Amino acid sequence: MQTRREFLALSTAAAAMPLSACSEHDMDDYTEAAARLRVNLTHIPDMKALVRFATLAANGHNTQPWRFTIRKNAISILPDLSRRTPVVDPDDHHLYVSLGCAAENALIAGKTHGLPGAARFDSTKEGRIDIDLTPAPAQPDALYEAIPKRQSTRSEYSGRSVATDDLKRLEAAAKIKGVSIILITDEAGREAVLDYVIAGNSFQMDDPQFVQELRDWIRFNPSEALRTRDGLFTACSGNPTMPAWIGKPMFNLFFSKDAENEKYTKQLKSSAGVAVFIGEREDKHHWVQVGRSFQRFALQATALGMRHSHINQPIEVPSVRSQFSNELGLGKARPDLVVRFGYAPPLPMSMRRSVDDVIFS
């Protein structure tokens, strides 16, 4: 446990460091690398190009829990179980949702560049998604243009509401077999969701294993984020960057239940609405479908100039999840994801591992 005196010593040491030690150059390198990952495709030279677009998908804690195999006009996406997050996601729900997000990006990019296809979930062993593509005329798609621009924006939003037509576009984009969504935009409804976010967050913040797992995936500075190319880089959440030896004790000191609950209250109150995604069944195949639906929603939001960010606390704690499900009148159905949306300036983009590090064939 850090004493107040030790913390002050750390802070003084940090303040005494020249700015370059916290490395503006590293931030420039980071920004350049993040941009390189997102260079647009003019055509699809090979399946590796599609895999790069697939990996730009949202994924829990940015662990990038996927492996890819490629053949001519075919991609398979498999789980990488070494990148599980067993505390926050003990049944690998988020992991399979993340695979679905990646699959949807690949499908959209393929279709745009004249290689449309279909995804099939094979439930044998750990499960895999097989995507077969067939040459056809290219079909431009606004969702494709949004792939390199989409980001999880974990800041306060402007409070501006979303026009009814745009809400309808979000709903239409998210339509995927086996998944339904509920959009909550009225103040009372958002306040009700906030109660469950606070209940879930309070439970998680009281669990030292949850906090430890989260801290393990935080990257405190650009060089750490560039070295691992995964995890949650502080700048992407609007937080300061610092050397890891300062960041880790600072995290222990400042990451508190009250501060987090206050942050989520402000974030939710400033959002235009909340989307809840519900799979028809509680199995890996439907979790993949939920990921595909969410990814399409997020891309449509991006294409319309909106931001989004997960507030999954109500669905991550089983006891809170069943109450949340009752609140929404879902009966026995499991609410799979909770996402807020609205308007805000962008934050830095997140990092990804290179294509060669995720392809296994």
Ligand X SMILES: Cc1cc2nc3c(=O)[nH]c(=O)nc-3n(C[C@H](O)[C@H](O)[C@H](O)COP(=O)(O)O)c2cc1C
Closer by beta carbon to ligand X, 22 or else 288: 288
Closer by beta carbon to ligand X, 128 or else 260: 260
Closer by beta carbon to ligand X, 97 or else 193: 97
Smallest gap from Cβ 16 to ligand X, in A, equals 32
Smallest gap from Cβ 3 to ligand X, in A, equals 30
Closer by beta carbon to ligand X, 47 or else 347: 347
Smallest gap from Cβ 29 to ligand X, in A, equals 19
Q: Sign of the CA dihedral 245, 198, 298, 53?
A: positive
3-state secondary structure the chain: CCCHHHHHHHHHHHHHCCHHHHCHHHHHHHHHHHHHHCCCCCCCCCHHHHHHHHHCCCCHHHCCCEEEEEECCEEEEEECHHHCCCCCCCCCHHHHHHHHHHHHHHHHHHHHCCCCEEEEEECCCCCEEEEEECCCCCCCCHHHHHCCCCCECCCCCCCCCCCHHHHHHHHHHCCECCEEEEEECCHHHHHHHHHHHHHHHHHHHCCHHHHHHHHHCEECCHHHHHHHCCCEEHHHHCCCCCCHHHHHHHHHHHCCHHHHHHHHHHHHHCCCEEEEEEECCCCHHHHHHHHHHHHHHHHHHHHCCCEEEECCHHHHCHHHHHHHHHHCCCCCCCEEEEEEEECCCCCCCCCCCCHHHHECC
Closer by beta carbon to ligand X, 119 or else 133: 119
Smallest gap from Cβ 204 to ligand X, in A, equals 9
Closer by beta carbon to ligand X, 115 or else 232: 232
Closer by beta carbon to ligand X, 58 or else 119: 58
Instruction: Please report, as ranges, the residues that interact with ligand X according to CB under 6 A.
Output: 58-62, 94, 97-98, 101, 151-152, 154, 232, 309-310, 312, 350
